[in-house]
Structure 1
Amino acid sequence: MARSPGTKLGLLLAGTLLAGFSALPLLAQTATPAQGPAASPPTLDTTPAADPAMAPDAATAPAAAAVSDPASSQSDLEAVEASISLSQQRMDELKAEIAAMQGDRTQQNAALIAAAQRVKLAEIEVADVEGRLNDLIVSELEVRGRLDGSNAEIANVLAALERISLNPPPALIVDPDDALGSARSAILIAAIVPQLRAKADSVTADLTELTNIKTAAQAEEATLRANHAVLEEEQLRIATLIAARKQGIGVRTAELDAEQQQAVALAARATSLKELVDSLSSQVSSVSTAAAAADAAVDPDLPVMTPEAIHLAFADSARLEPAVPFGVAKGYLAMPANGVNVLDYGSRDGFGGISHGISLVTRAEAQVVAPADGWVLYKGPYLNYGQIIILNTGQGYTALLAGLETVTVDIGQFVQMGMPLGTMGSRTIGRTVTTSAGAAQPTLYIELRHNNEPVDPTAWWATPTQSG
């Protein structure tokens, strides 16, 4: 027996809905998680900031004061290898590549800076992908909300169509003895069919949108996995390069050992960052002759250098002192980490004071690089600031980075702008700043000083064009 128009339309609509819903599981449930902690979309904790645990005082952390040696570098390298999922073949290839640079400090410096730049770009891409995945999940939930909201309406329409199919309408429509009833039935069907068609079109559009969302999410997840692979490879490259450099240095001299111990002793006695920087700066002559000379060369009339000359100077990976006078580097410094600026210079810091620097909320385990050329005056824990690094950048300027979890440089070491200094943790370390993120995300505090007085760092950073 031929099916009535109402029956056919009902079956078509029901089939479309059932096929669509069964083919599209929830994206949030089926998305394949990427490796590593960065795979989950970032969330901003809006709860009030809690006081995080205090970082250990420098005086009570002798382990942090120990002089770094090749053995410790090797153990750090092994820890990195254990935490990544690269194939053994790729790990061996990287080690062979770096072994070929043995003894060539210039090549090692260039490789370190290039690897750090690739990590920085991969971190930016990971953050962007996670943001897009968040948007896709929100879009999917909105579409599914619309479909769930129309379930009752669709069920009622299907029930009505089912009742029509039980009483075949042709007998009503074409009955010659009841022309008025046939007309009314025709009017009823004519009114229902367009509404059913519009509803079917709406549901079809939503199902198509869900399909597109799922396809886009799969593409974003593939990009996320590729960037995590880049991060793992470059982290291994950096750890291997650092281990190779320290093996090349060999045993540290007694003078540098004394320098390390003296810096830790000064940190234990200092009651403020200002006092610490002042006491360390007064000892700068014992760090190195080059550092002392650069610090003493305070020229009120800075040389005029073209942007091309400045870029050329920074491109010299063999340099053992700042490429340009620090005052000339204004507008060319590298931002130490990727992140969101949550506290500006001069703003209230949430503890009743004024911020003398800027604070960035970063990704978990984000890389931190040197913002400028300079010598490491101090590295290690200090009061409640977590791990800090203080660089003597010459001409009476110092750069302070606080809130790190790990540090990979040594006191007295010269670092070039863009070289890796360490990494952040998974949460704010130390009571350095109060932000809307609370302690749930790591916070890096950055401060510039000139003659031990805070300087607004806002205008010192390179633009993307300059840093590229």
Structure 2
Amino acid sequence: MYKRGIVVHVLSAGLMAGLLLWAGPLAAQDASKKLDTVQERLASEKKRQRALEAKARELAREVRRLREETVSVARQMQERESLVSTLELQLIELRDERAQRRSGLKAQRAQLSSTLGALSRMPVSPERVFFLYPGDPEQAVRSAMLLQAAVPALRNRADILREELDALTAVEHDITDKLGQLKQAEDTLALERARMASLLAQKTKLADSAQKKQEKSQKKIADLVSKAKSLKDLISKLNKARPKPKPEAAGGPDPEPEQDIRLVRPDVVRTFPSKGPVKSPVVGRVVQRYGQDLGYGQTAKGVTVRTRAKAQIVAPHDGQIVFSGPFRDHGLILIIEHPGGYHTVLAGFEHVDVVTGQWLIAGEPVGAMGTPSAGGSPELYVELRREGRPVNPLNWFTAGNIKVHG
């Protein structure tokens, strides 16, 4: 019995040893398969990551290209707007000159007709003069002298009249020429506006995939807008609510493919200069100056610029949009934060082409003016703040396209 138990134990031990020897290779084989699977997944993930990084670099290149092209087209548009405005002013001056010359010609013609009428009643020879005044030789001589003196004066007036007619003809030709130039400039401007719309549509298409990510930020900003009592208060609240920037490598990281390319910081962002000049945001004429009395003890904290209909608005300097939307009685406004403690406030748009959080470089288009339905011209309000306090923007913008008269 004892021996039989020993045999059983020995057989059991051998069986277990055999099983273990057989299971060892199976376990190793299974582990090897799992390792292969993990390595395949890792390789696939690395490949996907490389593809994403390549896509991110491609998007970054595309947004840089679009940014540079929109800046170039916006500059051409503003130059064209300035040219059109200049041509229109020249046309006004030429038409005023034409009206004055026509009035002068009318007066000279009337005077010449009167003189010729008087002379037509006078004899044309001395003999006939003496015949008219037989008893008064002195009167006859005086009339003959007047006749001789009148002839050169009449010739002089006729020459002046001829010169005025020639000048009027030249003015008419100038007006025709300016009208042709104006038509060509307006046609080119229309093409540039269409090109700008196409470029902005491309930027929007690239950024559409990340739109949902902005909803939370937009809700937070809307809450700040509802609580802000003034532009100063709004800028202060936006500054406090802004997250602190994380340290980045030089040149900034490549954007993630799902990130809104408009929110990617440019490679170079310049500090706003403490002294001008910077680029003017619009082509136009100042109709309300900084510090101008508004009544009720209030003064203008910015300038109001009268512009052309559909005028292009651009960023005056590098910076980031910290607010885009309607605000109280200011209508649709943009607030651009510039490095160095400056903010630019722009108000009066018909539409904007930027979003909150978007980075900009100087000259990049941000929106356009509208077309007043009741005639007149649209007006853009421009305010510049340094450390939250308004300063005269014309100390920076007068080197550009904003004209100051008076």
Q: Does 1:379 align with 2:321?
A: no
2:378 aligned partner: 442
Q: CA deviation at 1:113?
A: 0.4
Q: How far apart, CA to CA, are the structure 1 residues paired with 2:118 and 2:65?
A: 78
Q: How far apart, CA to CA, are the structure 1 residues paired with 2:63 and 2:237?
A: 31
Q: Does 1:127 align with 2:108?
A: no
Superposed, 1:316-335 pairs within 5 Å as 320-321=265-266, 323-328=268-273, 330-335=275-280
Q: How far apart, CA to CA, are the structure 1 residues paired with 2:188 and 2:157?
A: 47
**Code of the aligned partner of 1:119:** M
With 352-361 and 370-379 compared, the bigger mean Cα shift is at 352-361
Q: CA deviation at 1:116?
A: 0.6
Find the residue that maps to 1:106 and give its secondary structure. helix
CA-atom RMSD, angstroms?
A: 3.6
**Code of the aligned partner of 1:285:** P
User: Deviations along 1:271-311, whole A, 9 cap, x unmatched?
Assistant: 2111211222222229x8689xxxxxxxxxxxxxxxxxxxx
Find the residue that maps to 2:293 and give its secondary structure. coil
Q: How far apart, CA to CA, are the structure 2 residues paired with 1:422 and 1:253?
A: 19
Q: CA deviation at 1:203?
A: 1.1
Q: How far apart, CA to CA, are the structure 2 residues paired with 1:233 and 1:380?
A: 28
Q: CA deviation at 1:200?
A: 0.8
Change (3 A) 1:174 1:263: same
The gaps in structure 2 that reach 5 residues or longer are 1-58, 249-262, 402-406
1:148 aligned partner: 106
Q: Does 1:405 align with 2:350?
A: yes
Q: How far apart, CA to CA, are the structure 2 residues paired with 1:399 and 1:322?
A: 21
Q: CA deviation at 1:337?
A: 0.7
Superposed, 1:25-424 pairs within 5 Å as 104-163=62-121, 172=128, 186-285=144-243, 320-321=265-266, 323-328=268-273, 330-350=275-295, 352-424=297-369
Q: Which structure's CA Rg is the greater one?
A: 2
Bigger fraction of residues in helix: 2
Find the residue that maps to 2:209 and give its secondary structure. coil
Q: How far apart, CA to CA, are the structure 2 residues paired with 1:338 and 1:464?
A: 8
Q: How far apart, CA to CA, are the structure 1 residues paired with 2:155 and 2:83?
A: 43
1:91 aligned partner: none
Residues 428 and 441, structure 1, Cα contact 8 Å, conserved in 2: no
Residues 264 and 358, structure 2, Cα contact 8 Å, conserved in 1: no
Q: CA deviation at 1:245?
A: 1.0
User: Deviations along 1:2-34, whole A, 9 cap, x unmatched?
Assistant: xxxxxxxxxxxxxxxxxxxxxxxxxxxxxxxxx
Find the residue that maps to 2:280 and give its secondary structure. coil
**Code of the aligned partner of 1:455:** V
Find the residue that maps to 2:330 and give its secondary structure. coil
| Equivalent residue pairs, number | 327
The gaps in structure 1 that reach 5 residues or longer are 1-100, 292-317, 430-438
User: Deviations along 1:421-463, whole A, 9 cap, x unmatched?
Assistant: 111234599xxxxxxxxx9432222222234232343443484
Q: How far apart, CA to CA, are the structure 2 residues paired with 1:116 and 1:236?
A: 11
Change (3 A) 1:396 1:192: closer
Percent of matched pairs sharing the same residue: 29
Larger relative contact order, structure 1 or 2 (CA cutoff 8 Å, min sep 6):
1
TM-score normalised over the length of structure 2? 0.70
Q: CA deviation at 1:195?
A: 2.3
Question: Which of 388, 398, 402 is the equivalent residue of 1:452?
Answer: 388
Q: How far apart, CA to CA, are the structure 2 residues paired with 1:445 and 1:333?
A: 17
User: Deviations along 1:176-200, whole A, 9 cap, x unmatched?
Assistant: xx89698677534313212211221
Find the residue that maps to 1:141 and give its secondary structure. helix
Q: How far apart, CA to CA, are the structure 1 residues paired with 2:201 and 2:84?
A: 27
Q: How far apart, CA to CA, are the structure 2 residues paired with 1:321 and 1:247?
A: 19
Residues 272 and 317, structure 2, Cα contact 8 Å, conserved in 1: no
Residues 280 and 400, structure 2, Cα contact 8 Å, conserved in 1: no
**Code of the aligned partner of 1:400:** V
Residues 82 and 283, structure 2, Cα contact 8 Å, conserved in 1: yes
**Code of the aligned partner of 2:365:** P
Q: How far apart, CA to CA, are the structure 1 residues paired with 2:247 and 2:109?
A: 76
Change (3 A) 1:153 1:346: closer
Q: CA deviation at 1:325?
A: 4.5
Q: CA deviation at 1:223?
A: 1.8
